[in-house]
Amino acid sequence: DAGVIQSPRHEVTEMGQEVTLRCKPISGHNSLFWYRQTMMRGLELLIYFNNNVPIDDSGMPEDRFSAKMPNASFSTLKIQPSEPRDSAVYFCASRLWEGMAAFFGQGTRLTVV
Amino acid sequence: RKEVEQDPGPFNVPEGATVAFNCTYSNSASQSFFWYRQDCRKEPKLLMSVYSSGNEDGRFTAQLNRASQYISLLIRDSKLSDSATYLCVLNSGGYQKVTFGTGTKLQVIP
């Protein structure tokens, strides 16, 4: 059974470029989460979806960040334009239903130079 | 006050020792609790759920104290492979937002 699949695993981009991170949740899961992790700030919840609908995006740092979930099997996190301070590991996680634990993808390591 | 607070450590313990971590939370309406472990440069992985009555999984015991709003994790007979960061996690709110603590780093020493 495939877990949460994220792509790309690594991304190096220049400041000002658009970056798109992708996530395929576990089939049948109804919640999807995007997190960002840095040494300084730990794991930060950026946004989460329930049944493809964004529930809480208060963690999205600014308008340069946007996330979509067009269907139950795919989500994207976009940064436009990217800045060096966006360098971090971005994790996607999915959950079967509200009372259960979330399962994480392997993450995308983003470096903005 | 942060929603979930943990002592960052590091906790350096010898092999075979027993070690305990606590985690406090501020939202009394939190409904589900978990411990995750995260190895260096890897994703967080579920270690165990935490039930109101307390629960055990091998060398690991988790407890929940709703009155004092904390959860704990006890590791007995520590192994070198237990070295990792342990994250306290809770689900709260109408759609059960998942909130992580900052983690406690454990280093088991030979």
> Beta partners for A102?
A95
B55 vs A: CB within 8 A? no
Q: Which of A50, A90, A104 to mutate to test the interface with B (most CBs of B within 10 A)?
A: A104
- Predicted confidence band at A1 (pLDDT cuts at 50, 70, 90)? low
Host H or E run for residue A103: strand A102-104
- Mean per-residue pLDDT of chain A: 95
- Reply yes or no on whether the pLDDT at A94 is more than 70: yes
At B59-110, the pLDDT tens digits run: 999 999 999 999 999 999 999 999 999 999 998 877 788 999 999 999 999 9
What letter does residue B29 receive in the DSSP assignment?
T
Report the alpha-carbon distance of residue B91 to residue B93 in Å, rounded.
7
Count Cβ atoms below 10 Å from residue B14 Cβ, excluding itself.
Answer: 10
Tell me, what's the pLDDT at A98? Answer: 84
- Predicted confidence band at A92 (pLDDT cuts at 50, 70, 90)? very high
Report the alpha-carbon distance of residue B79 to residue B57 in Å, rounded.
15
Tell me, what's the pLDDT at A99? Answer: 84
- Reply yes or no on whether the pLDDT at B1 is more than 80: no
Separation in Å, CA A24 to CA A32, B8, B48: 9, 32, 24
- Reply yes or no on whether the pLDDT at B44 is more than 90: yes
| Polymer length of chain B | 110
Tell me, what's the pLDDT at A111? Answer: 98
Tell me, what's the pLDDT at A2? Answer: 83
B54 vs A: CB within 8 A? no
Tell me, what's the pLDDT at B30? Answer: 82
B2 vs A: CB within 8 A? no
Tell me, what's the pLDDT at A26? Answer: 97
What letter does residue B64 receive in the DSSP assignment?
E
For the residues B3-22, what does the mean pLDDT come to? 94
For the residues A16-45, what does the mean pLDDT come to? 95
| Polymer length of chain A | 113
At A33-87, the pLDDT tens digits run: 999 999 888 899 999 999 999 999 999 988 999 999 999 999 999 999 999 999 9
B71 vs A: CB within 8 A? no
Report the alpha-carbon distance of residue B18 to residue B12 in Å, rounded.
11
Report the alpha-carbon distance of residue B102 to residue B7 in Å, rounded.
8
